[in-house]
């Protein structure tokens, strides 16, 4: 479903991604964790080519994402991306945020896009927020609108770049619940996160990164109880002990 | 000068001349504005394009237009381009004003686009929009909201600058006033009244833009 082969990326003489190999099967949820500066955000941003790579290959549902010959816009329209800072369009209402891309990219009729948009907002507990502008919404609500916006394109995979890091603590749960529902529905997902309990609970595999490398990939129960690498042990002792 | 006797009847008696001129000024300004906006957007986007060639062309255009006095530009367009293309005073004036104003609008557009957070373009592109779609539907609407105040100033300057078109004998408020002064010798009264008419036009424009701005601000902030 998602395959990264020998992916390498450098900024100047700093290697941000080094020889990354990863395979995410259909309907699996992978959490990417690790210390800051490990390259987690860069990694997830290369998956929809928001970030270019120097070498290697990334394939999502058969699309060779970094091949200049493919239609990247078409490929991206099937890859949902949720940002840490939401990036909602501030001049559009919640519903307009959700319907813009379906109307402009998929050429959906406005009425159909609105019907689908309302269904999505309803399912995310935002049924009374159709006409609200982003600045009138809490961080948790904004992030749920952003999830609805990504889902409105009917993506094959969903990518989350630290979706709860910019949120007040009391709003983290509502966003994680939304992601959990998607996991149960069988969505293929990669989530960069610092929420260890969430990762433990819903993810099929934990991808532990440090210094631009994938150090360890393991199922959560194994990773959290008996991490193999020293880097992961050191990381976990820091994040789990308080 | 103490002995100058004001006679305002020159205004009331020639109201049709002023109204005629004011309408021409509005017409020329509005058309120049209409053309300068798309040109300004294209040049402004060219200025920040990743394409080096477009960047250089746009920069040269902006520097050239900003560096040349409007008066000279109008004369050039009227006597050189205008003769060549058979434009006439009216269209020479509109084209000159539009090209001149576009350079300033381009710089405003550039500043506005650069003020929109990078995440907006990324969000639009990640949903599958092309660069052009993302610009048009996501970035530019926000850029315009950000630069409305300097844009309003530019529009007001355009209306006032349009008084220069009289040098190429394009009929406008200023030319009509000039002609009236020549026959009545009532310069003080006439120019004061002309200033008042320009003020009414620019204040109205100011008000319209401020209302627009307020509506956006109250809704989205």
One DSSP character per residue, chain A reads: -EEEEEEEEEETTEEEEEEEEEEE-TT-EEEEE-STTSSHHHHHHHTTTSS--SEEEEEETTEETT-TTS-HHHHHTTEEEE-TT----TTS-HHHHHHHHHHHTS---HHHHHHHHHHHHHHTT-TT-TT--GGGS-HHHHHHHHHHHHHTT--SEEEEESTTTTS-GGGHHHHHHHHHHHHHTT-EEEEE-S-HHHHHHH-SEEEEEETTEEEEEE-HHHHHHS--SHHHHHHHHHHH--
Q: Are residues A193 and A225 in contact, defined by beta-carbon separation less than 8 angstroms?
A: no
Mean pLDDT of the region A49-54: 96
Cβ–Cβ of A135/B138 closer than 8 Å? no
For residue B124, list chain A residues with Cβ-Cβ distance below 8 A: 89, 101
pLDDT at residue B64 is higher than 70: yes
Q: What is the ipTM of this complex?
A: 0.94
Instruction: Name the B residues in 89-118 with CB < 8 Å from any A CB.
Output: 117
- On whether any CB of chain A is under 8 Å from the CB of B16, the answer is no
* Total CB pairs under 8 A between chain A and B: 66
Work out the mean pLDDT of chain A and round it to a whole number: 95
pLDDT at B218 (0 to 100) = 78
pLDDT at residue B128 is higher than 90: yes
Q: Are residues A146 and A83 in contact, defined by beta-carbon separation less than 8 angstroms?
A: yes
Band of the pLDDT at B4, cuts 50, 70, 90? confident
**A73 vs B128, B137, B220: nearest CB:** B128
Band of the pLDDT at B212, cuts 50, 70, 90? confident
Annotated domain spans of chain B: 13-220
> How far is the C-alpha of B143 from the C-alpha of B153, rounded, in Å?
16
pLDDT at B66 (0 to 100) = 94
Cβ–Cβ of A135/B120 closer than 8 Å? no
Q: Are residues A146 and A98 in contact, defined by beta-carbon separation less than 8 angstroms?
A: no
Instruction: Please report, rounded to a whole number, the percentage of residues in chain A having pLDDT higher than 90.
Output: 95
> How far is the C-alpha of B84 from the C-alpha of B61, rounded, in Å?
21
pLDDT at residue B1 is higher than 70: no
pLDDT at residue A242 is higher than 60: no
pLDDT at B169 (0 to 100) = 87
Cα-based distances in Å from A140 to A125, A159, A166: 11, 17, 9
Mean pLDDT of the region B193-198: 96
| Tokens found for residue B67 | 């560096």
pTM for this entry = 0.88
pLDDT at B207 (0 to 100) = 93
pLDDT at A190 (0 to 100) = 98
Band of the pLDDT at A35, cuts 50, 70, 90? very high
**Locus of tokens 């490990």:** A38
DSSP characters over B154-189:
HHHHHHHHGGGGGGGT--SHHHHHHHHHHHH--HHH
Q: Are residues B94 and B32 in contact, defined by beta-carbon separation less than 8 angstroms?
A: yes
Instruction: Please report, rounded to a whole number, the percentage of residues in chain B having pLDDT higher than 70.
Output: 99
Q: Are residues A73 and A105 in contact, defined by beta-carbon separation less than 8 angstroms?
A: yes
For residue B117, list chain A residues with Cβ-Cβ distance below 8 A: 87
Closest approach of A83 to chain B, Cα-based (Å): 8
Cβ–Cβ of A101/B221 closer than 8 Å? no
Q: Are residues B151 and B101 in contact, defined by beta-carbon separation less than 8 angstroms?
A: no
pLDDT at A10 (0 to 100) = 94
Cα-based distances in Å from A236 to A16, A33, A194, B184: 22, 10, 11, 92
Instruction: State pLDDT tens for residues A164-215.
Output: 999 999 999 999 999 999 999 999 999 999 999 999 999 999 999 999 999 9
The CATH T-level fold of domain B13-220 is MetI-like fold (1.10.3720)
For residue A91, list chain B residues with Cβ-Cβ distance below 8 A: 141-142, 145, 216, 220
Instruction: State pLDDT tens for residues B67-114.
Output: 999 999 999 999 999 888 988 999 999 999 999 999 999 999 999 999
Closest approach of A131 to chain B, Cα-based (Å): 11
Mean pLDDT of the region B19-36: 96
Cβ–Cβ of A50/B216 closer than 8 Å? no
- On whether any CB of chain B is under 8 Å from the CB of A105, the answer is yes
Cβ–Cβ of A149/B122 closer than 8 Å? no
Secondary structure element (H or E) that encloses residue B2, with its range: none
**B142 vs A74, A90, A105: nearest CB:** A90
Cα-based distances in Å from A142 to A172, A174, A238, B82, B137: 12, 11, 31, 55, 20
Instruction: Name the A residues in 123-182 with CB < 8 Å from any B CB.
Output: 133, 135, 149-150, 153
- On whether any CB of chain B is under 8 Å from the CB of A224, the answer is no
Instruction: State pLDDT tens for residues A115-164.
Output: 999 999 999 999 999 999 999 999 999 999 999 999 999 999 999 999 99
**B120 vs A87, A104, A135: nearest CB:** A87
Band of the pLDDT at A241, cuts 50, 70, 90? low
For residue B137, list chain A residues with Cβ-Cβ distance below 8 A: 100, 104
pLDDT at B82 (0 to 100) = 85
Measured in whole angstroms, the distance separating CA A71 from the mean position of its chain's CA atoms is 21
């Amino acid at each position: 479903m998602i395959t990264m082969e020998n992916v390498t990326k450098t900024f100047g003489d700093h290697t941000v991604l080094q020889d990354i190999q990863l395979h995410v099967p259909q309907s699996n949820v992978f959490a990417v964790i690790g210390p800051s500066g490990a390259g987690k955000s860069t990694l997830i941003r290369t998956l929809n080519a928001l970030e270019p790579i120097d070498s290697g290959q990334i394939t999502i549902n058969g699309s060779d994402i970094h091949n200049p010959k493919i239609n990247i816009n078409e490929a991206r329209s099937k890859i949902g991306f949720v940002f840490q800072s939401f990036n909602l369009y501030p001049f559009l209402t919640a519903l307009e945020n959700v319907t813009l891309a379906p109307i402009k990219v998929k050429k959906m009729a406005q009425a159909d896009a609105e019907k689908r948009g309302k269904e999505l907002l309803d399912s995310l507990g935002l049924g009374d927020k159709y006409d609200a502008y982003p600045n009138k919404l809490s961080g948790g609500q904004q992030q749920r609108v952003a999830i609805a916006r990504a889902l409105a394109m009917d993506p094959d995979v969903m990518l989350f770049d630290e979706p709860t890091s910019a949120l007040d603590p009391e709003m983290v749960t509502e966003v994680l619940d939304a992601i959990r529902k998607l996991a149960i529905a069988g969505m293929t997902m990669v989530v960069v996160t610092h929420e260890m309990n969430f990762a433990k609970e819903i993810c099929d595999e934990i991808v532990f990164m440090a210094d631009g490398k994938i150090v360890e990939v393991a199922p959560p129960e194994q990773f959290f109880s008996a991490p193999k690498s020293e880097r992961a042990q050191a990381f976990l002792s820091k994040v789990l002990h308080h | 000068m103490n002995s100058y006797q004001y006679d305002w009847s020159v205004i009331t008696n020639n109201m049709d001349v002023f109204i005629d001129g004011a309408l021409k000024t509005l017409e020329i300004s509005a058309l120049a504005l209409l053309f300068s906006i798309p040109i300004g957007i294209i040049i402004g986007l060219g200025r920040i394009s990743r394409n080096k060639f477009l960047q250089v062309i746009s920069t040269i255009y902006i520097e050239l237009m900003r560096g040349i006095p409007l008066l000279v530009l109008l004369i050039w367009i009227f006597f050189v381009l205008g003769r060549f293309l058979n434009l006439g005073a009216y269209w020479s004036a509109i084209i000159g004003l539009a090209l001149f104003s576009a350079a300033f609008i381009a710089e405003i557009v550039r500043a506005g686009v650069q003020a929109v957070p990078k995440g907006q373009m990324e969000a639009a592109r990640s949903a599958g929009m092309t660069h052009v779609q993302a610009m048009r539907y996501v970035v530019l609407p926000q850029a315009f909201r950000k630069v409305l105040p300097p844009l309003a100033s530019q529009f007001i300057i355009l209306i006032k600058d349009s008084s220069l078109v009289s040098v190429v004998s394009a009929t406008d408020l200023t030319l009509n006033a000039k002609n009236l002064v020549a026959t009545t010798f009532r310069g003080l009264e006439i120019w004061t009244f002309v200033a008042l008419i320009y003020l009414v036009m620019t204040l109205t424009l100011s008000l319209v833009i401020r209302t627009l701005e307020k509506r956006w601000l109250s809704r989205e902030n």
